[in-house]
């Protein structure tokens, strides 16, 4: 049976760069950082006091006030981003049958703010008065998909991926498979995260994973540099509408890009670090290319996972192993985490969306803060400034704790 083609027809973005697709895209094209001092709690005692906080988010635009206590922040972001994507795709005016639309929106850590707040309330008031009846549904990860499903009447497949920093990409990739095999015609897919809390920041500080460039927050996320000293935690959501290509074209929808390949695998090596040769990442990228039947030299852009840690060198090695001579002849690579930070479970959602927009609009996002390149990071990272370039294929990489990997290959649509 012929494989179904899958189009991207809607995108919803919430990040430290802004609320909505155009705000985020403009910031990316301008090479603007969204990183700043932490304001969610008193971080003065922490070695890291900076993060990528979402600013200006008004939940009441999407969620009645009385219902907001049923949702921790990551779920609110998921609901808002899904609605943006749904409206952009024009599905409000031309919805599929409810049974033919599903939701895969995941999160890496879920409702950490709500868990911390409820525990403090419990300590102060005891179990009878200190624990809300909405506590569990407000913090469990699958309610990101569940709330979106309820609100949009999506009665198809509905659950949430959890694969650390690969979550958003896995959610999109598995949604791609659902449509490909004919189990749905439309999928709402991506990731959402909000864990800028004492435990969230403290945990990564204890693991020595975060940048402590507190005096220069805009310069703290600096992938591929010699002076990188850890990633910058961020929050937000990236949600996309995936739609059977024939359905999208039949209704005259704007098709932003096409997803043509997906790879998912595991390093089976270490809980936080990949092997030095990036063997798992290599195989994952090859799986996506093979899935699409696309040769490596056809790819013009990669949105790298590169988090501003030691693993940036390993991803560079993996890219060189997969793309060979093409890595020096026409392959551009960038890490938009240099601007929006690391959205953890939402990273793959926003970064895949950026790949789609790069294909549609003919602009390759930059890697900012690339002032002192690491000699072992020797690819074309589109330094400092966005570049006008029309490429046919773009690849997004997302790698997570536990050795979990995901790669998505997108194609430009004429």
Q: Which two tokens stand for residue 108?
A: 């890496």
- DSSP code of 366? P
- Per-residue pLDDT tens over the stretch 120-177: 999 999 999 999 999 999 999 999 999 999 999 999 999 999 999 999 999 999 999 9
Q: Provide the phi-psi class of 355: left if phi over 0, else alpha when psi is between -120 and 50, else beta.
A: alpha
Catalytic residue among 118, 284, 340, 342: 342
Cβ 333 vs Cβ 152: under 8 Å: no
Question: Please, where in the chain does CATH 3.40.47.10 lie?
Answer: 6-250, 258-411
Cβ 27 vs Cβ 365: under 8 Å: no
Percent over 70 (pLDDT), the chain: 100
Q: Are strands 299-303 and 393-400 parallel, antiparallel or unpaired?
A: parallel
Is 326 a known active-site residue? Answer: no
Per-residue pLDDT, averaged over 300-325, amounts to: 98
CA distance 346 to 164: 9
Cβ 15 vs Cβ 350: under 8 Å: yes
Query: In the chain, count of helices (H) and strands (E)?
Result: 13, 14
For residue 298, the Cα-to-chain-centroid distance in whole angstroms is 24
Is 384 a known active-site residue? Answer: no
pLDDT at 402 over 70: yes
For the purposes of burial, counting CB atoms within 10 Å of the CB of 346, is it exposed (0-12), middle (13-18) or buried (19 or more)? buried
Is 29 a known active-site residue? Answer: no
Q: Which two tokens stand for residue 137?
A: 């549904």
The beta strands (E) that lie in 267-392 are given as 299-303, 332-334, 363-364, 387-388
pLDDT at 414 over 90: no
pLDDT at 340 over 70: yes
Is the CATH number of domain 6-250 3.40.50.360?
no
CA distance 352 to 33: 19
Residue range 258-411, CATH number: 3.40.47.10
Q: Which two tokens stand for residue 408?
A: 């998505």
Catalytic residue among 118, 165, 284, 355: 165
Confidence of residue 296 (pLDDT cuts 50, 70, 90): very high
- Per-residue pLDDT tens over the stretch 71-121: 999 999 999 999 999 999 999 999 999 999 999 999 999 999 999 999 999
Catalytic residue among 305, 340, 355, 377: 305
CA distance 109 to 346: 10
Q: Which two tokens stand for residue 38?
A: 């932490």
Per-residue pLDDT, averaged over 53-60, amounts to: 97
- Per-residue pLDDT tens over the stretch 248-262: 999 999 999 999 999
pLDDT at 282 over 80: yes
pLDDT at 216 over 90: yes
User: In which residue are the tokens 């179904």 written?
Assistant: 4
pLDDT at 2 over 90: no
User: Strand, helix or coil at 57?
Assistant: coil
User: Strand, helix or coil at 241?
Assistant: strand
Task: Single out the residue of 26, 131, 14 nearest to residue 75, CA to CA.
Answer: 14
Count of other CB atoms within 10 angstroms of residue 50 = 26
CA distance 147 to 139: 12
Q: CA gyration radius for the chain?
A: 20
Cβ 83 vs Cβ 241: under 8 Å: no
Residues 6+ away with beta carbon under 8 Å from 22: none
Confidence of residue 1 (pLDDT cuts 50, 70, 90): low
- Per-residue pLDDT tens over the stretch 344-398: 999 999 999 999 999 999 999 999 999 999 999 999 999 999 999 999 999 999 9
Task: Give the predicted TM-score (pTM) of the model.
Answer: 0.98
Average pLDDT of the residues of the chain: 97
């Amino acid at each position: 049976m012929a494989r179904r083609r899958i189009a991207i027809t809607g995108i919803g973005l919430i990040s430290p760069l802004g609320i909505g697709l155009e705000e985020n895209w403009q910031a990316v094209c301008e090479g603007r950082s969204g990183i700043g001092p932490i304001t969610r709690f008193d971080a003065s005692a922490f070695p890291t006091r900076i993060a990528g906080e979402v600013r200006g988010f008004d939940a009441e635009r999407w969620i009645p006030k009385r219902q907001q206590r049923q949702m921790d922040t990551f779920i609110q972001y998921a609901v808002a981003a899904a609605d943006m994507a749904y409206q952009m795709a024009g599905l409000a005016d031309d919805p599929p049958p409810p049974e033919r639309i599903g939701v895969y929106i995941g999160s890496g850590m879920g409702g950490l703010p709500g868990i911390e707040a409820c525990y403090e309330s419990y300590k102060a008031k005891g179990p009878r008065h200190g624990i809300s009846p909405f506590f569990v549904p407000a913090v469990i990860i699958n309610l990101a998909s569940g709330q979106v499903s309820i609100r949009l009447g999506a009665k198809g497949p509905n659950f949430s991926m959890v694969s650390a920093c690969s979550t958003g990409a896995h959610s999109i990739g598995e949604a791609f498979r659902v449509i490909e095999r004919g189990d749905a015609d439309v999928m709402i897919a991506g990731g959402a995260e909000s864990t800028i809390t004492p435990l969230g920041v403290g945990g990564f500080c204890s693991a020595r994973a975060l940048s402590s460039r507190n005096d220069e927050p805009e310069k703290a996320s600096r992938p591929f540099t010699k002076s990188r000293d850890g990633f910058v935690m961020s929050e937000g959501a990236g949600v996309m509408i995936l739609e059977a290509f024939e359905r999208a074209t039949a209704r005259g929808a704007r098709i932003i890009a096409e997803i043509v390949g997906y790879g998912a695998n595991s390093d089976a090596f270490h809980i936080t670090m990949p092997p030095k040769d990036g063997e798992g990442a290599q195989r994952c990228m090859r799986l996506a290319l093979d899935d699409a039947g696309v040769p490596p030299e056809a790819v013009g852009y990669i949105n790298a996972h590169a988090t501003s840690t030691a693993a940036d060198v390993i991803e560079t090695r993996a890219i060189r192993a997969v793309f060979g001579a093409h890595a020096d002849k026409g392959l551009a690579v960038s890490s938009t985490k240099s601007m929006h930070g690391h959205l953890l479970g939402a990273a793959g959602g926003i970064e895949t969306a950026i790949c789609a927009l790069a294909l549609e609009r003919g602009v390759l996002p930059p890697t900012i803060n690339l002032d002192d390149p690491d000699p072992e990071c020797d690819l074309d990272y589109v330094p400092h400034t966005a570049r006008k370039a029309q490429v046919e294929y773009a690849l997004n990489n997302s790698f997570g704790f536990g050795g979990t990997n995901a790669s998505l290959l997108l194609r430009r649509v004429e």
